[in-house]
């Protein structure tokens, strides 16, 4: 970009230099006529000088037109490159924003799942504690050689297994609900856009 800008600055000077050369050529033609009129040289020499100066003037006019066209093209390219860079920056920024939004949504979902796991722990921790205390009565270690299980151990299993299954199902349903809610929200956002 800096090279293009430097080229633009160099080209901007060229038309003025060519215009100055054209003005100089016009003055030389006028001077040639004046010298011929004063008798410094004849009309044949004056005609040769005039033709040479006219040829130089024609070339200078062509150079001027080319330099102006080149300047216009360089300005157009400079604007095009600037716009492309701005568009690229905007696209990159939009991508970063979309990724940040996705990460935020995932973080919210993770927080919801952790909240549910914490609530489940909150509800079942007292029961686990009580079961731990009552569980001590279900085993008899007696003399150490043989472990005996109490006859009412089935009550512990009858309560613990369904409660564990219920907890797992509640967790699964909560996660599924959160995912469905997030997908519905994403679809709503896409429809609005």
| Spatial separation of the C-alpha atoms in residues 78 and 62, rounded to whole Å | 24
Q: What pLDDT shows up at residue 145? A: 64
pLDDT-derived band at 62, boundaries 50, 70, 90: very high
| Spatial separation of the C-alpha atoms in residues 89 and 163, rounded to whole Å | 55
Q: What dihedral angle (degrees, nearest 10) is formed by the CA atoms of 32, 35, 39, 40?
A: -90
Side-chain half-sphere exposure of 30, counting CA atoms within 13 A: 6
Answer whether residue 152 shows pLDDT above 80: no
First-residue to last-residue Cα distance in the chain: 35
| Spatial separation of the C-alpha atoms in residues 98 and 96, rounded to whole Å | 5
Answer whether residue 117 shows pLDDT above 80: no
Quote the mean pLDDT of the chain: 80
Query: Rounded to two decimals, what is the model's pTM?
Result: 0.44
pLDDT-derived band at 192, boundaries 50, 70, 90: confident
pLDDT-derived band at 59, boundaries 50, 70, 90: very high
């Amino acid at each position: 970009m800096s090279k293009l800008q430097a080229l633009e600055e160099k080209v901007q000077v060229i038309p003025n230099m060519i215009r100055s050369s054209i003005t100089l050529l016009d003055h030389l033609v006028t001077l040639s006529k004046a010298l011929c009129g004063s008798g410094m040289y004849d009309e044949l020499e004056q005609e040769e000088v005039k033709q040479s100066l006219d040829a130089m003037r024609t070339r200078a006019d062509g150079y001027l037109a080319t330099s102006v066209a080149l300047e216009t093209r360089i300005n157009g390219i400079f604007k095009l490159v600037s716009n492309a860079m701005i568009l690229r920056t905007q696209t990159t920024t939009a991508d970063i924003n979309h990724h940040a939004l996705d990460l935020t949504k995932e973080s919210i979902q993770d927080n919801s799942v952790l909240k549910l796991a914490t609530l489940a722990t909150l509800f079942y921790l007292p029961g686990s504690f009580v079961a731990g205390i009552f569980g001590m009565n279900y085993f008899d270690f007696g003399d150490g050689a043989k472990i005996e299980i109490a006859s009412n151990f089935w009550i512990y299993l009858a309560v613990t297994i369904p409660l564990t299954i219920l907890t797992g199902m509640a967790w699964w349903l909560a996660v599924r609900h959160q995912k469905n809610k997030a997908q519905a929200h994403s679809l709503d956002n896409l429809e609005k856009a």
